């Protein structure tokens, strides 16, 4: 039988869940939730290669206009995101950018718009083990600025503000289930709306909180795939996702050129 440390496990010198080492990743890592989204970057980057696949984690690395960049799926929600974030930081990542889809709760935000979150309401669950609830989950100015410039360069409609990262897709985000006869969806949504929340998603606060604690830059860019107020869900959002990925790559390049290479 072969063993490794239960506290700090390794697999042939690789982190246990992402199954890669420091040489495999770039300083900037994009974080989609869906493992399938990692494959999109094969057409968007040069020499893009899948490094590892394990459970909900797929990690690939390539080059965008000469910049080495990695893409690593986190799965859905805070617990799996926590694992990805901690292991990527252990491997030397300097900036983590969430990319994905989100649900808007402002009537004027349309499907396929972009949302850049400056902060997140901490309802994910995992970050509470690292910092008290009062500790803010905020994005790095440098990342928000870089993504904002990318949206403007590509002439995208974008919105900037605070999201709620919720460790629940149904009740936590104001959705009933087939088993609820009298569930009041509007009541839950109205609580978020009164706080000025722009959108609901499931991973940003974990990324923001852990990155701030451990000195890594962090941000988020998501395309809107549904609007809970107008009750519209975009069925085919692949083109919007691809455009968001292109914008995230441009934002990563901006971040490297404007901020990271000056550290």
What's the rounded Cα separation, in Å, for the pair 55 and 62? 21
Quick one: pLDDT at residue 211? 98
Catalytically active residues are 17, 87, 175, 228
Q: What is the CATH number of the domain that holds 78?
A: 3.40.50.1580
What's the rounded Cα separation, in Å, for the pair 210 and 10? 21
What SS3 class is residue 119? strand
Parent domain of 76: 22-262
- Would you say residue 9 lies in a domain? no
pLDDT digits (tens, 9 = 90+) for 113-149: 999 999 999 999 999 999 999 999 999 999 999 999 9
- E strand intervals along 32-138: 46-54, 57-64, 67-72, 95-104, 114-123, 137-138
What's the rounded Cα separation, in Å, for the pair 255 and 96? 11
In order of 14, 58, 73, 92, 181, the CA distances from 20 in angstroms are 5, 11, 13, 12, 47
Contact (CB, 8 A) for 37 and 74:
no
pLDDT digits (tens, 9 = 90+) for 23-77: 999 999 999 999 999 999 999 999 999 999 999 999 999 999 999 999 999 999 9
- Would you say residue 3 lies in a domain? no
- Would you say residue 128 lies in a domain? yes
Angle of helix 204-213 relative to helix 78-90, nearest 10 degrees, comes to: 30
What's the rounded Cα separation, in Å, for the pair 101 and 104? 10
- Would you say residue 139 lies in a domain? yes
Quick one: pLDDT at residue 263? 66
The residues with which 57 forms a beta bridge, in sequence order, are: 54
Spell out a b/e string for 24-36, using b for 16 or more CB atoms within 10 Å of the CB, else e.
Answer: bbbbbbbbbbbbe
Quick one: pLDDT at residue 261? 79
- Would you say residue 6 lies in a domain? no
- Would you say residue 78 lies in a domain? yes
pLDDT digits (tens, 9 = 90+) for 96-109: 999 999 999 999 99
Quick one: pLDDT at residue 241? 95
- Would you say residue 146 lies in a domain? yes
- Would you say residue 5 lies in a domain? no
What's the rounded Cα separation, in Å, for the pair 263 and 95? 12
In order of 40, 206, 254, the CA distances from 65 in angstroms are 17, 29, 11
Angle of helix 141-153 relative to helix 238-258, nearest 10 degrees, comes to: 120
What the block records as the tokens of 190 is 């109205």
How many domains does the structure of the chain reveal?
1
How much is the pTM? 0.96
């Amino acid at each position: 039988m072969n063993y490794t440390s239960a506290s700090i496990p390794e697999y042939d010198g690789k982190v246990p869940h992402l199954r890669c080492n420091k040489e495999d990743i770039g300083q900037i890592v994009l974080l989609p939730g869906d493992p399938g989204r990692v494959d999109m970057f094969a057409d968007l980057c040069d020499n893009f290669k899948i490094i590892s696949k394990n459970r909900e984690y797929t990690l690939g690395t390539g080059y965008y206009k000469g910049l080495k960049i990695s893409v690593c799926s986190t799965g859905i929600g805070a617990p799996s995101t926590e694992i990805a974030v901690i292991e990527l930081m252990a491997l030397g990542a300097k900036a983590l950018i969430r990319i994905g889809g989100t649900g808007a709760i402002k009537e004027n935000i349309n499907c396929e718009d972009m949302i850049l979150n400056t902060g997140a309401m901490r309802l994910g669950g995992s970050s509470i083990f690292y910092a008290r609830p009062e500790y803010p989950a905020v994005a790095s100015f440098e990342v928000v600025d870089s993504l904002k410039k990318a949206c403007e360069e590509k002439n995208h409609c974008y919105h900037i503000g605070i999201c709620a990262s919720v460790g629940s897709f149904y009740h936590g985000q104001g959705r009933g289930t087939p088993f609820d006869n009298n569930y009041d969806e509007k009541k839950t949504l109205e609580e978020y709306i009164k706080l000025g929340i722009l959108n609901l998603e499931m991973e940003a606060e974990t990324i923001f909180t852990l990155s701030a604690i451990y000195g890594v830059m962090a941000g988020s860019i998501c395309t809107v795939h549904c609007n809970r107020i107008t009750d519209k869900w975009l069925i085919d959002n692949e083109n919007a996702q691809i455009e968001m990925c292109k914008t995230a790559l441009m934002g990563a390049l901006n971040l490297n050129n404007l901020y990271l290479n000056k550290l």
